[in-house]
Amino acid sequence: MVELSINEEEQLSVQEIERLQREVKRLAEEKNAVILAHYYQRPEVQDIADFVGDSLELSRKAASTDADIIVFCGVRFMCETAKILSPHKKVLHPNPESGCPMADMINASQVRKLREEHPDAELVAYINTTAEVKAEIDLCVTSANAPKVIKKLKAKKIVFMPDQALGQWVARQVPEKEFVLWKGFCPPHFEFTAREVEKLKERYPEAKVAVHPECHPKVIDIADFVGSTSQIIRYATSVEADKVIVITEVGLKHTLMKKNPNKEYIFPESMNYCGTVYCCTMKGITLPKLYKTIKEEINEVELPSDIIERARRPIERMLELS
């Protein structure tokens, strides 16, 4: 067996990347592990995943896999969701520091307070929330199913958390209900400005514009299409336009190019709060970290059993309703 010693701060050569990828695949097979990755992951990580998807698809995979180990290349709430849906499996997170800043914008006691303040409402949370928050809510949604699922609820009043942008976008499509929105936001998406998108449109007047619903409502207003990462992929690769302006995290470009390299995909280039064009916590998963995690079976995601039990209900309800 090859022993690898890697300083992950160094730029890896193509040969090193390939060698690590082979090792990760070999270890995954040997240990009956499945590697799940979100579309915002680094290309070299996406390329060796058994499945790459949006939050809804990844939850479905996590619930249905027969692997013994799930190695989740994404942010912490995604790993927690996998553990909640497959509590008897070992779930490994290659970088336990990689959380989602938006998920951390609301906690369980704040949700309990919302319940007291709005006893007549259903409490609905975006999947980008901690397990403790999910344990307090009535229903979980993702960007791929939120309007469809919320429309099916009986309650007239919805308390939606934590993403105000997604909440406003849903509220517009479900006008028959009253929405109370928590003021959380996704820093990388919320920082894209309408001015920046307008400038891209001036430069590429023939391009279509696809936007993620975590973006500011003023950016959403400019869009030809709004949807989750998977929905954007389907739209951008098949729409009748040679150029598509894509307003989401730039990791999506990798899949877009693989699925349809004949189009040009234009992403915003402005720096965000972490001084990059990326979601820096998503990019906290590196190939050396993935290798070390699967090799040593470290960074196991653990949750109290009562949280698992209570948090599973709103996720399963979502999977049933969508």
Q: Does 188 bind ligand SF4 (CB under 6 A)?
A: yes
Is position 187 an interface residue for ligand SF4 (rule: CB under 6 A)?
yes
In the set 48, 71, 100, 210, which binds ligand 13P (CB under 6 A)? 100
228 touches which of ligand 13P, ligand SF4, none (CB within 5 to 8 A by kind)?
ligand 13P
Question: Is 164 a binder of ligand 13P (CB under 6 A)?
Answer: no
Q: What sign for the dihedral angle of Cα 254, 255, 260, 265?
A: negative
Q: Choose between 263 and 289: whose C-beta lies nearer to ligand SF4.
A: 289
Binding mask 15-54 for ligand 13P (x = CB under 6 A): ------------------------x--------------x
Is 100 a binder of ligand SF4 (CB under 6 A)? yes
Could you say which residues in the range 199-218 bind ligand 13P, by CB under 6 A? Answer: 214
269 Cβ contact list (under 8 Å, min separation 6): 277
Near ligand SF4 by CB under 6 A: residue from 91, 92, 140, 279: 279
Interaction of residue 42 with ligand SF4, rule CB under 6 A? no
Strand 178-181: give its sheet, edge to edge. Answer: 139-141, 122-126, 157-161, 178-181
Please report how the helices 252-259 and 229-238 are oriented relative to each other, as an axis angle in degrees rounded to 10. Answer: 40
Q: Is 284 in the site for ligand SF4 (CB under 6 A)?
A: no
Complete DSSP assignment for 289-321: HHHHHHHHT-SB----HHHHHHHHHHHHHHHHH
Question: Residue 67 interacts with ligand SF4 (CB under 6 A)?
Answer: no
| 18 contacts: CB under 8 Å, gap ≥ 6 | none
Tokens matching residue 84: 């909640």
Question: Coil, strand, or helix at residue 80?
Answer: helix
Q: Say how many residues touch ligand SF4, by CB under 6 A.
A: 14
Within 13 Å of residue 4, how many CA atoms lie on the same side as its CB? 25
By the criterion CB under 6 A, which residues form the site for ligand 13P? 39, 54-55, 100, 128, 142-144, 186, 214, 228-229
